[in-house]
Amino acid sequence: MPPAPHWTSSVTVSRLRATAAGDLQELIATADWSELRGRRIVIRIEPRAGYVAQVGPRVLRGWMIRMHFGLLAATNYLLLLLFDEAATPAKRAAQLRAYMAAVVRGELPPRYPDFPATKVTEIEVLGRFCKWFILAHELGHIVSAARGDRFTCPFEEEFAADKWGWLLYYGRAQMMLPPFDELHSAGEMPTSWDRQRWIEQNGDRFAQLVNEMSSERRAFATAMNHCIWAAPHLVFRSLEYLERAFREAGVMLARTHPPAADRRPGLLAHVPAALTDQVLLKTLRPLDEAIPAPA
């Protein structure tokens, strides 16, 4: 029996549940998909060390998303490790291996000790995006089921949830990015994720807005775009370390999920090729250097 951790008090969990419920509502409202409209979706955050987020069981005329506290704690740990400038890539890899080994043993690992206080804004934004992406994937399962998607194997089901989840997540996160933020608050931006179509139809106006952006807003847009792509990458990277820890412990993984390393490239398939190159060069490669894939 692992010792009961003090930080999973019911107060903390219920607060987390409230913010997670708010995040869910925002994702659903932003997407405005008929598949999600009017559905009863309940979220349950469980005070457990595990690394679980899943849909089920079905609740009356709706769905339940279950999430272990351990998943949020691990995401937090990963972000603090990433922003700890004193840590080398090798140290980060070793720390993550140790962390995930503890998770596999059913223990709640300690919090990351070095809090890089100067990076608090980046950590908060990235942390929020990571959580959105995890929740959006679960909502993706619900969208997929509501649409009647059919699969021949469980891996396809996960790839479909990744796809729908990515569209939900990307749509919501983009609303925070100039000039979309302005258009969105003026009620001019469609709530659907398909902003590309709006840009094509309103090319001149969009170009004008981009041109008029101050250098500060431009820099902010670049930083936000970086975070939008970094978050899913980080979620998958921590999963890679978890998968490795399970293998090392000789535990057979359920064959329901494709390896995390195979899921990441799927996200890049949903954006134009020119953007893919940018994302690889500016965001994903530097992240791979900071936190290398498990050997």
Shortest distance in whole angstroms from residue 45 CB to Zn ion:
17
Shortest distance in whole angstroms from residue 154 CB to Zn ion:
9
Query: In the chain, how many H helices and how many E strands?
Result: 12, 3
- Identify the CA nearest to 157 among candidates 136, 140, 133: 140
Number of residues that bind Zn ion (CB under 5 A): 2
CA–CA distance, 128 with 197 (Å, rounded to integer) = 27
When the beta carbons of 31 and 177 are compared against Zn ion, the nearer one is: 31
Site string for Zn ion, 141-160 (x = CB under 5 A): -----------------x--
When the beta carbons of 83 and 133 are compared against Zn ion, the nearer one is: 133
**Window 164-223: residues binding Zn ion (CB under 5 A):** none
**Window 62-121: residues binding Zn ion (CB under 5 A):** none
Q: Is 59 helix (H, G, I), strand (E, B) or coil?
A: strand
Q: Is 273 helix (H, G, I), strand (E, B) or coil?
A: helix
Shortest distance in whole angstroms from residue 102 CB to Zn ion:
24
When the beta carbons of 226 and 263 are compared against Zn ion, the nearer one is: 263
Residue 161 interacts with Zn ion (CB under 5 A)?
yes
When the beta carbons of 224 and 239 are compared against Zn ion, the nearer one is: 239
Residue 15 is encoded by which pair of tokens? 């607060």
Shortest distance in whole angstroms from residue 263 CB to Zn ion:
10
When the beta carbons of 158 and 240 are compared against Zn ion, the nearer one is: 158
Query: Taking the alpha carbons of 184, 189, 195, 201 in that order, is the dihedral positive or negative?
Result: negative
Binding span for Zn ion by CB under 5 A among 27-35, 161-169, 189-197, 281-289 = 161-169
Shortest distance in whole angstroms from residue 132 CB to Zn ion:
15
**Residue in the structure block whose two tokens are 């998909």:** 33
When the beta carbons of 48 and 226 are compared against Zn ion, the nearer one is: 48
When the beta carbons of 5 and 232 are compared against Zn ion, the nearer one is: 232
Q: Show the beta-strand stretches assigned E in the chain.
A: 40-46, 53-55, 62-68
| Contacts of residue 80, Cβ cutoff 8 Å, sequence gap at least 6 | 111, 112, 114, 115, 116, 123
**Cβ-proximal residue to Zn ion, closest one:** 161
Residue 36 interacts with Zn ion (CB under 5 A)?
no
CA–CA distance, 123 with 268 (Å, rounded to integer) = 23
CA–CA distance, 288 with 291 (Å, rounded to integer) = 5
**Edge-to-edge strand list for the sheet holding 40-46:** 40-46, 62-68, 53-55
Shortest distance in whole angstroms from residue 53 CB to Zn ion:
8
Residue 150 has a CB neighbour count (10 Å cut-off) of 9
When the beta carbons of 125 and 161 are compared against Zn ion, the nearer one is: 161
Shortest distance in whole angstroms from residue 137 CB to Zn ion:
6
Q: Decide: 94 and 294 in contact? Cβ < 8 Å.
A: no
Shortest distance in whole angstroms from residue 158 CB to Zn ion:
5
Which residues of this protein are in contact with Zn ion, per CB under 5 A? 158, 161
